[in-house]
């Protein structure tokens, strides 16, 4: 046992004994690589240590597994080692990440620098190995050097959270403006990752909708996509919860007014400002008009046309608003951005009480992005809200909830980030629908009920 502990400890004092005694023959490295890789695969990390040390010390550029599997070995020591080993292992993990970038900055010809530096920043945070400034600067290095591979939702969230914590601690180098700008950058990155994931998932959903069986590989990928979707949804929700405390209309409007002259020719700044004011319900302020008009004259786009539609909506010019909304959709060439705009319009129509139009736009959004669960939830909520308007009897009015529940279930099926709330919503609607006793009393199991109101859909009474 003592010999094993000494062997493990040697990893963290440089393993110089191996440099003196071990041949640097590449074939020997290949053999040890194979040995430690097999041990890691079966989680026999103690047995993997010796051959792994040899390869890492003598052939550090042989194979990326030195670092991917080495990370597992070191994390196992952090989890299961004695106090001294845990502390030395934490330092060794940071060193490993630096070597990883040095020897294998790419995987399959794609940079992994952002991801690996992100791992390093997360380790510094998890193991309390640096102050907030150091941790934030490490996350920032990952984001600025290689945003493409900096995709882990936990890393993205903590990137912003560390800056927020610095701001709340009173750090005079972190202003409200810097915080808002960083939120915009990180949330846009979340949007990019959400769309990238949705595109992959929609291919599988379309195959399922066509009645074609999924291969085992596609089933596995769907599970992975759903897990990642849920993670993105969770961390994005946490991100929004943080900024909601600071990005109030009372804070945003003076900030944007103060910076308008400097950035009025910057379309990115104008889009972000207009988007934030819209999402925070600050669009009633006259300054929103100033922003939108400046944006549309500088860069007529799907975004600016949408905001002009919103302004006309607020002024009661419904036809003019619809014209701008349609222009916004036609100007947007990306189907996923188009779906996002269509859902925004659907929500505006819902708030205005124009339920048929809201459903039409939600369905259009789904035609461009089948995995857009929020569109299904919007429709389900409108159906549920219309229960008293539809049906010619108390039973039939409550039967609307079956239809609403079915639509909510679709949201859960296509968008795992919404699965919890969608399933809860579906259960709630089913709870309001007629009970088995009601069905028995009415004697109408299996019959079809048609709703002649705006819903204009049918539902079949469940069989007992």
Phi, psi of 110 (to 5 degrees): -120, 135
Question: Which of these, 331, 336, 335, 275, lies nearest to 302 by C-alpha position?
Answer: 331
Phi, psi of 131 (to 5 degrees): -80, 170
Structure tokens at 192: 């990019």
Tell me the angle at which helices 355-368 and 335-351 cross, rounded to the nearest 10 degrees: 170
Residue ranges of the chain with per-residue pLDDT less than 50 = 1-7, 9, 11-24
d(CA 70, CA 56): 9
284 SS3 class? coil
Cβ partners under 8 Å of residue 341, min gap 6? 302, 306, 328, 329, 332
At 446 the pLDDT is 92
d(CA 375, CA 379): 6
d(CA 209, CA 410): 12
Task: Please check whether residue 372 is in contact with residue 346, taking contact to mean a CB–CB distance below 8 angstroms.
Answer: no
Task: Please check whether residue 290 is in contact with residue 260, taking contact to mean a CB–CB distance below 8 angstroms.
Answer: yes
Task: Please check whether residue 301 is in contact with residue 275, taking contact to mean a CB–CB distance below 8 angstroms.
Answer: no
At 408 the pLDDT is 97
Task: Please check whether residue 114 is in contact with residue 146, taking contact to mean a CB–CB distance below 8 angstroms.
Answer: yes
pTM: predicted TM-score of the whole model, two decimal places: 0.82
Question: Any idea which residue has 């222009």 for tokens?
Answer: 327
Question: Which of these, 464, 443, 463, lies nearest to 395 by C-alpha position?
Answer: 443
422 SS3 class? helix
How far is the CA of 100 from the CAs of 68, 113, 139, in angstroms?
9, 9, 17
């Amino acid at each position: 046992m003592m010999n094993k502990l000494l062997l493990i400890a040697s990893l963290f004092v440089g393993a110089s004994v191996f440099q003196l005694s071990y041949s640097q023959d590449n074939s020997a490295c290949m053999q040890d690589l194979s040995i430690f890789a097999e041990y890691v695969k079966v989680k026999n990390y103690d047995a993997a240590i010796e051959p792994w040390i040899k390869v890492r010390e003598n052939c550090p550029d042989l194979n990326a597994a030195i670092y991917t599997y080495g990370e597992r070995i070191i994390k196992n020591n952090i989890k299961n080692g004695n106090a001294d080993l845990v502390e030395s292992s934490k330092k060794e993990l940071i060193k490993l990440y630096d070597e990883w970038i040095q020897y294998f900055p790419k995987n399959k010809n794609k940079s992994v620098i952002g991801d690996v530096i992100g791992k390093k920043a997360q380790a510094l945070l998890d193991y309390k190995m640096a102050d907030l400034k150091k941790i934030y600067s490490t996350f920032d290095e990952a984001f600025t050097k290689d945003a493409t591979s900096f995709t882990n939702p936990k890393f993205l969230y903590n990137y912003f959270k560390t800056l927020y914590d610095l701001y709340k601690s009173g750090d005079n180098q972190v202003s409200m403006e810097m915080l808002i700008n960083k939120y915009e950058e990180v949330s846009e990155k979340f949007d990019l990752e959400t769309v990238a994931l949705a595109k992959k998932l929609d291919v599988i959903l379309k195959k399922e909708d066509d009645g074609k069986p999924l291969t085992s590989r596609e089933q596995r990928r769907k599970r992975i996509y759903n897990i990642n979707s849920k993670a993105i949804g969770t961390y994005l929700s946490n991100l929004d919860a943080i900024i909601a405390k600071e990005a109030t209309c009372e804070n945003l409007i003076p900030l944007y007014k103060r910076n308008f002259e400097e950035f009025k020719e910057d379309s990115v700044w104008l889009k972000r400002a207009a988007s934030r004011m819209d999402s925070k319900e600050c669009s009633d302020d006259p300054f929103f008009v100033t922003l939108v008009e400046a944006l549309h004259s500088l860069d007529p786009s799907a975004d600016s046309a949408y905001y002009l539609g919103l302004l006309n909506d607020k002024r009661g010019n419904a036809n003019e608003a619809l014209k701008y909304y349609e222009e916004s959709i036609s100007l947007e060439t990306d189907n996923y951005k188009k779906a996002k705009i269509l859902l925004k319009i659907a929500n505006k129509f819902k708030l205005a009480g124009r339920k048929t139009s809201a459903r039409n736009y939600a369905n259009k959004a789904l035609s461009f992005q089948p995995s857009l669960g929020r569109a299904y939830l919007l429709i389900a909520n409108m159906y549920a809200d219309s229960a008293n308007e539809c049906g010619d009897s108390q039973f039939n009015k409550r039967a609307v909830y079956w239809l609403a529940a079915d639509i909510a279930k679709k949201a859960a099926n296509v968008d795992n980030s919404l699965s919890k709330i969608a399933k809860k919503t579906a259960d709630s609607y089913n709870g309001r629908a007629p009970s088995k006793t009601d069905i028995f009393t009415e004697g109408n199991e299996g019959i079809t009920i048609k709703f002649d109101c705006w819903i204009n859909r049918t539902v079949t009474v469940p069989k007992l």
